[in-house]
Structure 1
Amino acid sequence: MKEPLISVIVPVYKVENYLEVCLRSITNQTYENIEIILVDDGSPDRCPQICDSWKKRDNRIKVIHQNNSGGGQARNRALDIARGEFIAFVDSDDYIASTMFEFLYNQFKEDIDIVECGYCITENDDALFDDKNITYECKVFNTEEAMRENIRDRIFRQLIWNKMYRKNIIGNIRFPIGSKIDDEFWTYQVLGNARRLVYTSKVLYAYRQQENSVMHLLSPERRLQSIEAKIQRHNYIIKYMPNLEAESLSNLWYTCIYQGQLAMRRMNEKEYQHILKRLKQIMQLYPIKGDLSKIPGKSKLWLKLASISFYWTCKSRNILKIGL
């Protein structure tokens, strides 16, 4: 019986120095029944030519060329044409272990909808993967347990590329257009559709850390998008998983505090005062009420201080070098 098709989606933009390594790692997978959808997002370097060259070398590769519209639109176009029963994402400056897709696929049972593996951060092309016979953790979560881990930013984080998904749980969920952090708006919705999820600590993905990466270049103003993503997730949790509301709200406040700290460190006074005003408005719209006994002592203290003086809370944490 033929193995199910896995659609591998790769948005491509200004990565000509890394794209060959990325594509070699995907085409050399031990799981061979894959389609590889490369979406050239109007890249101004040699990436379009590299994509077309690889299409000639491997008939599993499809190439879409589009005007520069951002990673969200690139992934959406690929999702619209993906034929696979399973979906995986790889960023075009990263690379993966040769056994990644085979291992993730083998964790799927009838009621498993998402499988996540561990990843390593690297600056080179020779990351050490856990693709040999070594000990690793493997654990099953229900939807609410996985969402709690997402809130705590430990596992099942907003990262889209260290997971494999059943296509049917993605459905019509698409990435926002024009956002620099589109994964934060997308991942929690897909997690919420899953029946059961598997986490394995086995490291099979290499995330290439770059100084000019999107997250390094985001201004505090643009980082406010992460607050909007947390607000949308919080409203989703209120509606579908009310048991997690208090923890979600605490996380929203901490995200505001963190972004406030960042603004004070990187912007002039006029600019950061504008950001702090917006963050304070958000906290007033979503006030913390009721019992905070489940929140650890120091965390509860900072939330209390932020409700009294948001400015001095951010300033004090910067002076104490907390959270950065």
Structure 2
Amino acid sequence: MNDPVLALTLGDPVGIGPEITARTLAEVAGEDGHHGVAVGDAEALRRGARAAGLDVTVREVSDFATPPAGPGVIDVLDTGVLGADVPAWGTVDARAGRAAVAAIETATRAALDGAVAGVVTGPINKEAIWQAGSKHLGHTEMLGELTGVTRQDTMFVVRNTEVPGHHLRIFFTTRHVSLRVALDQITRERVGRSIREAATALRIFGTPEPRLAVAALNPHGGENGAFGDEEIEHIGPACDDARAEGLDVSGPVPADSVFHQGLTGRFDGVLSHFHDQGHIPAKTYDFNGTISVTVGLPILRTSVDHGTAFDIAGSGKADHGTMLSAYRAAVEYSPSVPTIRTTYGGNA
């Protein structure tokens, strides 16, 4: 898309979302080729801008087609949930949860309608959205329902400064479940499906001939069954199946080395099997630069990979690096939107 317009949801209005959104929009204001519009309560964004010490004007717009005003002006599409009554910083509050959900719903509808090229989401507090009545485990599941799809996955993008132009993508066989449940979900069928979905996502997001590594689950890859048999019974056969289909797949590769190999350029992507297996290396390597992309949706959605940081909300200490990276990634990926719609639009 030429000159993409992006919707940036504030996330929980009493977390660091308003501050990092304000900082991001202030930094990119006046740049050519794209336009970011915050979605959420205008007063929450203003309060975030004040907390950040920004000298900017927060302009309320009625639609996403309003042309940008240039440096020093950041735009917001006010959802009007809270009005002037924004709850105290850093508190779990059902009102804040409702505001966060409303922003996500508004931005998602705009993306489905083509009013924006994509959605960049700020962090939400799960307890707050649950208190507000949401039944979803988080953003990903909520976006799945809003867009009418049944399969959606997370792709982390880790930008490696040591290998110019190389971005490692990390995928997940399981997501928001306990480790015990995740272990039970590691099957040949599920791993195989995740391999194929990861390969598809890598192609969509700029790697025509992707090299994918599949992490092992057990120490040292299981040592031929001495430390567990998941590699023998499920992960290894799934890799064999994928190779038989013509995919460039390596694995299972011991998890204590596979991410290093990916970062140094041997692989374009790594399939991890449970939440922390993929999150820990990404956030340790580059906490403020790693971003999340939801694949499987018929819309482009990028996101920060951190939480609401209630402990520093309102203090002016929040680092907006991940939000800025998520925004710039959405700009970079916006030409893929037609392919995203075509590929995932039938995922219902």
Is the pair's TM-score, using the shorter chain for normalization, greater than 0.5?
Answer: no
Q: Which has the higher helix share?
A: 1
Q: Which has the higher contact order (CA 8 A, sep 6+)?
A: 2
TM-score w.r.t. structure 1 length?
0.32
